[in-house]
Amino acid sequence: MNQYIKEFWEAWNDPHARHAFLVHTPLVLGALGVFPLLGLAWRGFKSRPMRIVCITWFILMSGLAFMAEEAGEAAAGNLLSLDPPMTGAEARAIEHHEELGEDGWIWPLIPGVLTALTFIPKRPIRLGAGILGVIAAIGVSAWVAVTGHAGGRLVYVHGLGVPERTP
């Protein structure tokens, strides 16, 4: 067991591994986040427990996305010292992924806040906020897919962020 803990901490101290470790949970939460909201919509945006689940879902996603973004920034800094140096295509791919992920922790807060507004007892506000929350969750899901795909291309097309980069 001690060896596994040691390996975990070694991986955690590597920004590339930490980013990969942290990014997958917000990816899953973002991709699936619309489903709890659809369940809440099915209940007319009235279920208190489901509201709390949805709000917690997006807050958790936001926090993990923030941690993944911080690890990604550290990992990107390590790529500057590659030998051989990055190609122009690799640098553009990193820039694209960074632009998509920058401040990405904010996006999940939008459906979270809109879901919180469903606690307002006036039916038009509750329904309007709930419907906008579902739309926002769909947008978050799309953003997660595009950002994750850009990150996957860095690893699987360009070979960046892996222990050994192949030319």
d(CA 70, CA 155): 18
Specify the pTM: 0.85
- The pLDDT assigned to 48 comes to 97
Q: How confident is the model at residue 88 (pLDDT cuts 50, 70, 90)?
A: confident
Q: How confident is the model at residue 90 (pLDDT cuts 50, 70, 90)?
A: confident
- Residues 83-89 have a mean pLDDT of 80
d(CA 78, CA 25): 23
